[in-house]
Structure 1
Amino acid sequence: MNNKILDVAILGSGFGGLGMATRLKDKGIENFQIFEKSTELGGVWRDNIYPGAACDTEAHLYCFSYFPNLRVSRMYAGQQELLDYLNRFADHFHLREKIQFSSEIIHAAWNNAEQLWDLQIKDKGLIKAKVFVPAWGQLNKAVIPQFKGLENFKGQYFHSAEWDTAVDLKGKKVVSIGSAASAVQYIPEVAVEADHLTVFQRSANWIMPRNQVVFTEAQLDEFEQQPEKFFDSRNYLHNFRENGFDRTQQGTDAQKEGIRVALEHLHKHVQDEELRQKLIPDYEFGCKRILRTDDYYPALARENVSLVTDAIAEITAQGIQTAAGEFIEADVIIFGTGFASQNFNGELDIVGAEDTTLSEAWQDGAAAYIGLTVPSFCNMFLVYGPNTNLNHNSIVSMLEIQHQYIADSVEYILENNASLDVKQQVFEEYNEDIQARMAGSAFSSDCSSWYKNAAGKVINNWPLNVETYRHYTVFNADDFSQGNTAAKSECAYEA
């Protein structure tokens, strides 16, 4: 590898990594590289190619404010259109020359003696950087639970995030294990192809109507010729979704209205009372991710689709045995079983200033100051870290705020030749504050969700709205130990 010391090393080339790069360039910081383990950019929008894959946030919000997606064809954009946007984004800001593809960072360690990050690239050697920015996101590692007997299954199976396009579903008996965010998108598509589709549901979802809007060519021309029209739509949607935050708060009128809309949507599309009862959640509205789809309920009402709420006892050579004693024959099993959502550092060993790994620091649950930085992990800033996920608005808006904060931090580090280590007291007071603010949130109510760790602590979600996060996230050097005054001398830069 090149022996040149980088100012910044970015891990990942999805929305998080690419957006981070543009904010560095905006400050005139060019000595950085993006390290991408794949051969193409795009993150989740490169990987999730299952039929029906789309974003359930409005496309006018799900783009960077400084690079609006003016000709996006519909309000809820599909996977390919979002991937195309990211490719245009990379070309527009000349980022491809900054990406090292097929370059997986497999070990990262803070070098106390040199005050640098040592980053080991698989099969390519060591690189050094003053600042390390992991931007791998929260939903990037697919999980297939260890079902009894899976190894005996004679058919074909795969995870929805690793869709096997070589498998022909036509005329097959297909089983979907899982019925959440990805599944409600691919199930309507699979139902049309399969001879019979069986959907295993562990818990019902609160589902809101999507009400898809497909823009006309005249509308797209207007957005392109008069971008202020696009931003009128974007600003309206941002404020609308911010106001929708109250739906995630326990006992509010907004939450009751959300329940009303969701149940009305269910009753409109599902006439069978037995099926309808299976689809009514038994937990607080907002405790799990609220979904948006118009075609999931109609798919379940098809004659060739069955919904099963019994637990899986065993997977056999020919299908699935339920705990209730029913046997369901299967040619193909699709696992819509989600991701290791709290595995914020993926499979990467990250070692801080005290020879402690990030996994060890997070053994009781991931936490970071404003979701971005962790004590003793000097000059490291996470993108989309702990407690920065949303259930009411666009995550891209959160990313923009984070990118600006990190760019300001990097600018300070380079100008002052500094090593920054967030103060333990600042870190602890912040996390105590946001957990206290989580108390009235539906996220913390009594249900199991990927927002919580095993102890029931909400470690994924932000407890307030986007604009409040913007207020929290302003770089202040006083939040950090640095130089000769460092509380932990390992992070100190001796001038």
Structure 2
Amino acid sequence: MAFDTSRAAEQPMSVLIIGTGFSGLGMAVRLRQAGIEDFALLERAQSVGGTWRDNRYPGCACDVQSHLYSFSFDQNPDWSRMFAQQPEIERYLQGVAERYDLLRHVRFGTDVRSAHYDEAAALWRVRSADGREFAGRVLVSGMGALSNPALPKIAGLDRFQGKLFHSAQWDHDYDLAGKRVAVIGTGASAIQFVPQIVPKVAHLDLYQRTPPWIMPKPDRPISAFERKLFRRLPFTQTLMRAGLYAFLETRVLGFVVNPKIMALVQRQAQKHMQRQVPDAALRAKLTPNYRIGCKRVLISNDYYPALMQPQVDVITDEVREIREHAVVSGDGRGREVDAIILGTGFTVQDPIPRGAIFGRGGRDLWDTWKDHGVEAYLGASVHGFPNFFMLMGPNTGLGHTSQVYMIESQIAYVMDAIRQMRAQGLRAVEVRADVQQRFNARVQGNVNTAVWNSGGCKSWYLDARGRNTTIWPGFTFMFRRRTRHFQLQDYLVERAAAASAATPANA
């Protein structure tokens, strides 16, 4: 695709950032703190917040403790609960944008459709849906994986005549009171919104393909005294944050080091279910047949009690088809409903869609992944895509602690790359193919024996090949150590004064 640079809305910038969730805002804050002001945040919506702006379903909340689910440089002493709910997290992110004067850098309503690397100019040229064009030396993707809904491929879904929506696109104008509702999916979103809607509906059919393991949720209000203490003595909150981090990090022992340890956790989950589900037949439906941790471990105190209500049916037969006013299960039975809510998750395995990012030679990013699957070096860099960095890229997801820790680690890595590019007059940096290959071979070797791969389940952590492209298989402090410094010898570099092809940094 040819770009008419004369039509570009703005002069080339140092950095273009896609998205304004935790990744995009965190990157912008660090740029400003480094004295870099010529950057833009490209945001498709009309407000900041990313995942926590888009997901507004009833009961939406974080499953990591509030004090750890925030930036280290902007801790919030006023969290109202140990596990913050969506409106509070969205307000926090909006506050970050305001406190650090980021809004003037945001280009709202910019739905990025494609980004092409211009080799001659060593610039990324980005086009939005409305035809605007932007150019930047460095392109940073802060496109999160939990914003684009995954729609199930069910025959007749488009024929349904009732109300149909995904949990990430909740229709708050539709009144569920007295309605017959079908919920398809029992993942992290469903276990939060199902208890909220059960008291309202006349009847709810819950279609469960694979039951999740659920642990008790240690949630409680944070007292006014505690909030006052955190405000007056900030180090007390820092200590709490450090304690939470250390506690959650021990979970790696069961997830990665020795998955047999998960048997102890599984017994706790079984006791939780036995306490809350006295009905043996229902308990049998809700008991997973895989090791806990293989799929995302969920936390809830009200999901099981909601399923015990007389107006709820848990259906374990697969959904065969959708008719105009009914859902047909695998046994051929059709159940009439007024509304269908899809709790079917997100396109985690397609974090960046085909046709979006084009590197050297105009090659689509997806074409580089078609043979070996989604991969990157440190979840950030891909060979063939100079000056392009991903935040929350492949194998940086977590199953045990706060994703914000990983995001800040990657931001530090990208910032060091930018500093070195400026200090040494580098026009472009591109991760070496052999470095990327060795790194991912080690990652896959570690993850293959972890519970996510060996626990006997299929999950969104795995791609169609059964390859885990999502989870970081180790302690997060080890990832931070790897990303503390941008190692130039891992990259091909193109110096500003040279017109020759890229060469290894230590050549």
TM-score range, shorter chain: over 0.9
Matched with 1:392 is 400
The amino acid of 2:386's aligned partner reads: C
Q: Deviations over 1:121-167 (max 9, x none)?
A: 22242221100001001222102112112222221110000001111
| Aligned twin of 2:141 | 134
1:440-471 deviations in Å (ceiling 9; x for gaps): 20111232111111110000110111111112
**Counterparts of residues 361-440 of structure 1 (less than 5 Å):** 361-364=368-371, 365-418=373-426, 419-440=428-449
The alpha carbon displacement at 1:252 in A equals 4.1
Q: CA separation in 2, counterparts of 1:3 and 1:81? A: 34
Q: Which amino acid aligns with 2:157?
A: L
Matching of residues 223-234 of structure 1 within 5 Å = 223-234=230-241
Distance in 1 separating the partners of 2:395 and 2:100: 29
Q: Name the residue aligned to 2:464.
A: 454
**Runs of at least 4 residues off by over 6 Å:** none
Gaps of 5+ in 1: none
Q: CA deviation at 1:399?
A: 0.5
Residue 116 of structure 2: which of 90, 96, 109 is its match?
Answer: 109
Q: CA RMSD in A?
A: 1.7
Q: 1:221-276: CA deviations, max 9, x gaps?
A: 11111111111211111000000122213754531221011111111100000100
Work out whether residues 368 and 374 of structure 1, in 8 Å CA contact, stay in contact via their aligned partners in 2: yes
Q: Is 1:464 aligned with 2:474?
A: yes
Match for residue 443 of structure 1?
Answer: 452
Following superposition of structure 1 onto structure 2, how do residues 7-22 of structure 1 map, counting pairs within 5 Å? 7-22=14-29
2: CA distance between counterparts of 1:320 and 1:477? 56
Paired residue for 1:482? 493
Is residue 54 of structure 1 aligned with residue 61 of structure 2?
Answer: yes
The C-alpha deviation readout for 1:184-227, integer Å capped at 9, x for no partner, is 00000010110111110000101111121211111111111111
> What's the TM-score, normalizing by structure 1?
0.96
Aligned pair partner of 2:352 in 341, 345, 350: 345
Residues 491/182 of structure 1: CA separation in 2 closer, same or farther (3 Å cut): farther
Mapped partners of 2:165, 2:118: distance in 1: 40
> Counterpart of 1:229 in structure 2: which amino acid?
T
* Identical residues among aligned pairs (%): 35
Residue in 1 that maps onto 2:4:
none
Q: Is the 8 A contact 2:12 2:136 kept in 1?
A: yes
1:279 equivalent in structure 2: 286
Aligned length: 491
**Which one of 239, 242, 245 corresponds to residue 238 of structure 1?**
245
Residue in structure 2 matched with residue 151 of structure 1 by the alignment: 158
TM-score, scaled to structure 2: 0.94
Q: Secondary structure at the match of 1:406?
A: helix
Deviation at 1:3, TM superposition (A): 3.5
How is 1:12-411 mapped onto 2 (pairs within 5 angstroms)? 12-249=19-256, 252=259, 254-346=261-353, 349-364=356-371, 365-411=373-419
Q: Which amino acid aligns with 2:188?
A: A
Q: Is contact 1:10-1:134 (8 Å) kept?
A: yes
Which amino acid is the alignment partner of residue 377 of structure 1?
F
User: Which deviates more, 118-127 or 54-63?
Assistant: 118-127
Distance in 2 of aligned mates of 1:489 and 1:164: 55
Moved more, 243-252 or 418-427: 243-252
Give 2:492's aligned amino acid. S
Which letter maps to 1:421?
Answer: E
Distance in 1 of aligned mates of 2:43 and 2:154: 32
Cα offset, 1:439, TM superposition: 2.4
The 1-side partners of 2:490 and 2:151 are apart by 40
Q: Is the 8 A contact 1:179 1:336 kept in 2?
A: yes
Distance 2:257 2:314 in 1: 30
Residue 457 of structure 1 aligns to which amino acid in structure 2?
A: R
Q: What's the CA shift for 1:38?
A: 0.6
Q: Indicate if the aligned counterparts of 2:163 and 2:340 stay in contact, CA closer than 8 A.
A: yes
